[in-house]
C-alpha cells in the first residue's frame, strides 16, 4: 500500500504548538494543538529543559502519528526584544528541540514566515498581530470546514502546510500560480530542494 503524501506545519509558542496537516486526496486540512506542560512558575534551567524536551517529544509523536510526512514546515522563528518578548529564549529552545528531532527522524524540514504565507495565500503580507488576524480570516474563507482548536490555536499553521503542498506538488484549495510560487521565494527549503518551476505558461 502506497502512503499518501502529506505536509505538516508547526507554529511554536512556549505554551502550545499548533499543528496542521494537509494530505493528498483529503480536501480539508486536519488541525491539532499540543499543549506544553504547565511551568508551575518553575523557570529553573533544569525544569525548562525538561518541559522543552517533553513538549518536543509530544510534537514528534503527533507528526509521526500517520506515518512519515513528505515535508514539515516550521513557522519562521522570530524574536523580539526582551521587554516585549520575554519568552523568546524559551520559544527558540523549543523550536530547535522540535526541529532537531524532526531532522534526526529523517524528515525534510522547511521554514516559512507567517507574513510570507499570507502573501502566498492573499497576495499581500503583514507582520505582527494584524498579519495573524488577516491570515486567520483567509484560512477560514479558503477552508470553511477546517476545525478550530480554540483561542490558542494559530490558523496560520494551515496556510503554512498548504504552502508546503505547493512545494511538493500536492493540490490544495489554493490554485498554484506563478505569482504564488514567486511569493514563496523567501522560504527556507530542505537542503538540496528547490521551488517547482513556474506553472505552465498562460499563453499556449
How many helices and strands, by DSSP H and E, does the chain display?
6, 5
Summarize pLDDT for 110-146 with one digit per residue, the tens.
999 999 999 999 998 777 788 888 999 999 999 999 9
Q: Whole-prediction pTM value?
A: 0.93
d(CA 44, CA 66): 35
Domains assigned to the chain: 6-184 (3.30.420.10)
Is residue 56 helix, strand or coil?
Answer: helix
By CB atoms closer than 10 A (0-12, 13-18, 19+), residue 5 is middle
Summarize pLDDT for 140-194 with one digit per residue, the tens.
999 999 999 998 999 999 999 999 999 999 999 999 999 999 999 999 999 999 9
d(CA 181, CA 175): 10
d(CA 10, CA 17): 6
d(CA 36, CA 155): 18
Amino acid at each position: 500500500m502506497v502512503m499518501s503524501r502529506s505536509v505538516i506545519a508547526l507554529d511554536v509558542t512556549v505554551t502550545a504548538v499548533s499543528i496542521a496537516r494537509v494530505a493528498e486526496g483529503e480536501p480539508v486540512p486536519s488541525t491539532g494543538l499540543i499543549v506544553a506542560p504547565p511551568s508551575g512558575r518553575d523557570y529553573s534551567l533544569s525544569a525548562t529543559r525538561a518541559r522543552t524536551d517533553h513538549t518536543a517529544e509530544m510534537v514528534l509523536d503527533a507528526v509521526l502519528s500517520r506515518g512519515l510526512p513528505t515535508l514539515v514546515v516550521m513557522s519562521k522563528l522570530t524574536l523580539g526584544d526582551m521587554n516585549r518578548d520575554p519568552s523568546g529564549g524559551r520559544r527558540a529552545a523549543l523550536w530547535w528541540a522540535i526541529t532537531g528531532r524532526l531532522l534526526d527522524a529523517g524528515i525534510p524540514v522547511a521554514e516559512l514566515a507567517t507574513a510570507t504565507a499570507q502573501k502566498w495565500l492573499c497576495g499581500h503580507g503583514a507582520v505582527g498581530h494584524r498579519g495573524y488576524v488577516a491570515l486567520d480570516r483567509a484560512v477560514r474563507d479558503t477552508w470553511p470546514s477546517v476545525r478550530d482548536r480554540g483561542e490558542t490555536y494559530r490558523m496560520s499553521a494551515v496556510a503554512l502546510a498548504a504552502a508546503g503542498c505547493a512545494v511538493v506538488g500536492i493540490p490544495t484549495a489554493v490554485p498554484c500560480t506563478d505569482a504564488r510560487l514567486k511569493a514563496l521565494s523567501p522560504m527556507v527549503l530542505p537542503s538540496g530542494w528547490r521551488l517547482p518551476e513556474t506553472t505552465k505558461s498562460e499563453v499556449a
